[in-house]
């Protein structure tokens, strides 16, 4: 049994996440975690809310709540939505936890001890009208690299180029819109990433199996222009982790906090510690996932994220781990995704554009969304969500192929043999051929899932569903029954076993439907089909089942048109 650590990029706390956020990290991470568990692996699947920084302060101010109370409430909201979508986290933590405070301050102390932190007196943008220093991301302007007019002071989300606020053309405060900005002097801590460039570059070069999207972004940041730059890790804010050197005060850093992009990735480790705390386990139980001197040398660590998060996970977080000089586990594989677009433009939390997780669950069950998002995952390029495509995919794949197969078999069996697996002849030539084809395609499905090729895995799974329909259409047990009831019983018995098999194979993609199919077959046998012949004999003669409710209702043209109009504007 292999051990797998899986982390999903942390969703930010300032609001409910949209479907683009979901498919860019959490959902494919859940797919992979569910698959690995089904195959008998030991899995630790970790995520958390990212709670520090100015956006949390501003979001709380809008609701009139203290920022700590706002973050606690929104963590609860995001937790419930994650459950609603079937995200099977072992723990869903909070970057504001005491565990993350202690670990972030510990790493900062270790980096300072190893001479990887320097103090810098610098000029920083101060908004006179707002009465505060502006964090990089709350200065907006035009990107000097690509001309995008909503670039932030830390990074252009359009071209992913790392920026400083002073690089922006026509900068203004994203808080008030004011252009009454001054440059004032302040002191901050910088992580000396440049001193670690060689080690980070060698490490990235060793990852021959990483997606091109991941390595191309990492190498661009490493080699473009002046190469890997030192990065500020503190900010003039109130809400965040106080700057300390381990447990000691840091002279000159009073009143400052660590930059959210320094503490957020450390929360992966902290959230695993939070899991141990919640389970009443010892520290050794979480450290075995993260410390190579305490058991993590046998762990395979996989991260899932959108492409905008890649630089911080290929450069910043590894610099923290390597620079600490301690045997912490580095990521083995980074699965990165392009963007899911909506109606010709970007999904956007800040602009309220697109379909958001709560609205999605209000109009349809989670598995409709899970299937479409995963089968259209933006792997090789950006993908676009359109209501036409969503309707067609749901109706053809889920209703016509899988749902129709389950309905036809169970209803026909009930009408001719009752709600039990019927007794009949042995599997013949057609059934043997089907088993051979299924075996080939299931092995291909396993390969795609193991390689995290999400869209290819979805296409293979759909092909496996189609095989059952093609068999049923060719066997035509409703016709066979008229002349050879025993053979028809055998065909139906195979069909019922296919339902159980499909439930097992489909569980990573559509877990709620999988549970419904197993419940209909009244079985808890969910072993992976290493032997397809044996898997198609799991439900024995006489085993009772029930005819399930319709698994997937078709989306009507009227529903599609209503939703198109409802989600055409900006979310309130």
Query: What are the residue ranges spanned by the domains of the chain?
Result: 3-104+261-383, 113-195+209-249, 387-535
Is residue 84 over pLDDT 90?
yes
Residue-wise pLDDT for 444-471, tens only, equals 999 999 999 999 999 999 999 999 999 9
Residue 570, CB-side half-sphere exposure with 13 Å CA sphere: 6
CA 198, CA 212: separation in Å to the nearest integer?
20
Exposed, middle or buried, 533 (CB in 10 Å: 0-12/13-18/19+)?
middle
Question: CA nearest 95: which of 52, 53, 135?
Answer: 52
CA distance readout (Å), 78 to 26, 48, 545: 12, 9, 37
DSSP code of residue 126: E
pLDDT at 352: 78
* Residue 159 assigned as binding residue: yes
CA 290, CA 286: separation in Å to the nearest integer?
7
Q: Tell the residue number behind the tokens 């609001």, with chain if given.
A: 15
Mean pLDDT, the chain, rounded, equals 95
Question: CA nearest 191: which of 101, 111, 95, 311?
Answer: 111
DSSP code of residue 26: I
pLDDT at 518: 98
Mean pLDDT on 339-361: 87
CA distance readout (Å), 196 to 209, 289, 309, 508, 512: 23, 25, 20, 39, 46
* Residue 349 assigned as binding residue: yes
* Residue 143 assigned as binding residue: yes
Instruction: Identify the H or E element spanning 204.
Output: helix 197-205
Question: CA nearest 359: which of 14, 13, 18?
Answer: 18
- For strands 345-346 and 139-142, give the pairing: unpaired
Q: Are 15 and 349 in contact (CB under 8 A)?
A: yes
pLDDT at 135: 77
CA 121, CA 129: separation in Å to the nearest integer?
24
DSSP code of residue 166: G
Mean pLDDT on 308-329: 96
DSSP H helical ranges for 476-551: 477-483, 485-506, 511-520, 532-535
CA 338, CA 383: separation in Å to the nearest integer?
8
Please tell me if the domain spanning 113-195+209-249 has the same topology as the one spanning 387-535: no
Q: Got the DSSP string for 424-454? A: -----HHHHHHHHHHHHHHHHHHHHHHTT-H
Q: Are 402 and 552 in contact (CB under 8 A)?
A: yes
Contacts of 168 (CB under 8 A, 6+ apart): 139, 140, 141, 142, 143, 144, 151, 153
3-state secondary structure of 414: helix
Fold of 113-195+209-249: 2.170.220
What is the percent of the chain where pLDDT is above 70?
99
Is residue 226 over pLDDT 80?
no
Is residue 123 over pLDDT 90?
no
Per-residue pLDDT band at 144 (split at 50, 70, 90):
very high
Mean pLDDT on 51-68: 91
pLDDT at 98: 98
Mean pLDDT on 14-19: 93
pLDDT at 225: 67
Q: Are 98 and 314 in contact (CB under 8 A)?
A: no
Per-residue pLDDT band at 572 (split at 50, 70, 90):
low
Cα torsion 20, 26, 28, 30: sign: negative
Mean pLDDT on 340-368: 90
Question: CA nearest 397: which of 386, 385, 405?
Answer: 405
Q: Tell the residue number behind the tokens 């991260």, with chain if given.
A: 303
Neighbours of 464 (CB within 10 A): 22
Per-residue pLDDT band at 161 (split at 50, 70, 90):
confident
Is residue 349 over pLDDT 80?
no
What pTM was estimated for this model as a whole? 0.92
pLDDT at 528: 97
Q: Tell the residue number behind the tokens 């070069």, with chain if given.
A: 205
Q: What share of the chain is helix, strand, coil (3-state, %, to 5)?
A: 50, 15, 30
Higher pLDDT, 448 or 130: 448
Mean pLDDT on 84-108: 98
pLDDT at 571: 67
What is the percent of the chain where pLDDT is above 90?
86
pLDDT at 122: 85
pLDDT at 463: 98
pLDDT at 36: 98
Q: Tell the residue number behind the tokens 């450390």, with chain if given.
A: 266
Q: Got the DSSP string for 278-340? A: HHT--HHHHHHHHBGGGTGGGEEEEEEEEGGGHHIIIIIHHHHHHHHTS-BPPPSEEEEE-PE
CA distance readout (Å), 351 to 138, 348, 368, 453: 14, 5, 25, 31
Choose the weakest-confidence range: 158-167, 215-224, 451-460: 158-167
Which CATH superfamily, name and number, covers 387-535? Isoleucyl-tRNA Synthetase; Domain 1 (1.10.730.10)
Neighbours of 477 (CB within 10 A): 26
Residue-wise pLDDT for 375-413, tens only, equals 999 999 999 999 999 999 999 999 999 999 999 999 999
pLDDT at 356: 95
Q: Are 108 and 258 in contact (CB under 8 A)?
A: yes
Mean pLDDT on 306-321: 96
DSSP H helical ranges for 65-193: 67-84, 98-113
Q: Are 406 and 548 in contact (CB under 8 A)?
A: yes
- Please give the CATH number for the structural domain made up of 3-104+261-383: 3.40.50.620
Is residue 345 over pLDDT 70?
yes
Instruction: Identify the H or E element spanning 537.
Output: none
Q: Which two tokens stand for residue 266?
A: 């450390």
**String of b and e for 314-350 (b: at least 16 CB within 10 Å)?**
bbbbbbbbbbbeeebbebebbbbbbbbbbbeebbbbe
Neighbours of 524 (CB within 10 A): 7
């Amino acid at each position: 049994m292999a051990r797998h650590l899986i982390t999903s990029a942390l969703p930010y706390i300032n609001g409910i996440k949209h479907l683009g956020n979901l498919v860019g990290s959490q959902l494919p991470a859940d797919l992979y975690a569910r698959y690995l568990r089904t195959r008998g692996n030991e899995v630790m699947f970790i995520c958390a809310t990212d709670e520090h920084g100015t956006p949390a302060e501003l979001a709380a101010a809008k609701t009139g709540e203290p920022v700590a109370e706002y973050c606690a409430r929104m963590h609860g909201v995001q937790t419930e939505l994650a459950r609603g979508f079937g995200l099977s986290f072992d723990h869903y933590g909070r970057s504001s936890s005491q565990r993350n405070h202690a670990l972030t301050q510990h790493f900062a102390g270790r980096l300072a001890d190893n001479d990887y932190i320097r103090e810098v007196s610098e000029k920083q943008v101060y908004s006179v009208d707002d009465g505060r220093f502006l964090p990089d991301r709350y200065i907006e302007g035009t990107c000097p690299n690509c001309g995008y007019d909503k670039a932030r002071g830390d990074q252009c989300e359009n071209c992913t180029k790392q920026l400083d606020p002073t690089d922006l053309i026509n900068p203004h405060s994203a808080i008030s819109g004011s252009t009454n900005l001054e440059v004032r002097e302040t002191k901050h801590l910088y992580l000396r990433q440049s001193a670690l460039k060689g080690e980070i570059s060698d490490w990235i070069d060793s990852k021959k199996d990483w997606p091109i999207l991941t390595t191309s972004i990492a190498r661009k940041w490493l080699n473009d222009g002046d190469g890997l730059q030192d990065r500020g890790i503190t900010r003039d804010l109130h809400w965040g982790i106080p700057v300390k050197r381990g447990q000691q005060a840091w002279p000159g850093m009073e009143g400052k906090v660590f930059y959210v992009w320094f503490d957020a990735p450390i929360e992966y480790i902290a959230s695993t510690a939070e899991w141990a705390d919640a389970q009443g386990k010892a520290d050794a139980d979480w450290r075995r996932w993260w410390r190579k001197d305490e058991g993590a040398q046998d762990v395979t660590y996989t991260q899932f994220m959108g492409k905008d998060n890649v630089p911080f996970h290929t450069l910043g977080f590894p610099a923290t781990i390597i620079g600490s000089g301690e045997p912490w586990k580095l990521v083995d594989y980074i699965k990165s995704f392009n963007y899911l677009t909506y109606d010709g433009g970007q999904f956007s939390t800040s602009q309220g554009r697109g379909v958001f997780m709560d609205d999605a669950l209000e109009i349809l069950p989670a598995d409709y969304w899970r299937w479409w998002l995963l089968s259209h995952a933006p792997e090789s390029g950006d993908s676009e969500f359109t209501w036409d495509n969503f309707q067609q995919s749901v109706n053809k794949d889920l209703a016509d192929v899988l749902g129709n197969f389950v309905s036809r078999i169970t209803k026909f069996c009930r009408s001719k043999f009752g709600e039990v697996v019927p007794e009949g002849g042995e599997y013949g030539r057609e059934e043997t051929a089907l088993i051979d084809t299924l075996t080939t395609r299931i092995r291909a499905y396993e390969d795609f899932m193991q390689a995290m090729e999400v869209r290819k895995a979805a296409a293979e799974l759909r092909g496996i569903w189609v095989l059952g329909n093609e068999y049923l259409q060719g066997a035509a047990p409703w016709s066979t029954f008229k002349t050879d009831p025993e053979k028809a019983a055998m065909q139906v018995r195979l069909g019922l076993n296919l339902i159980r098999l499909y439930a097992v194979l489909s569980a990573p993609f559509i877990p709620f439907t999988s549970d419904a199919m197993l419940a209909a077959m009244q079985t808890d046998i969910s072993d992976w089909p290493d032997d397809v012949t044996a898997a198609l004999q799991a439900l024995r003669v006489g085993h009772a089942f029930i005819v399930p409710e319709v698994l997937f209702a078709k989306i009507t043209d009227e529903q599609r048109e209503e939703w198109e109009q409802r989600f055409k504007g900006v979310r309130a």
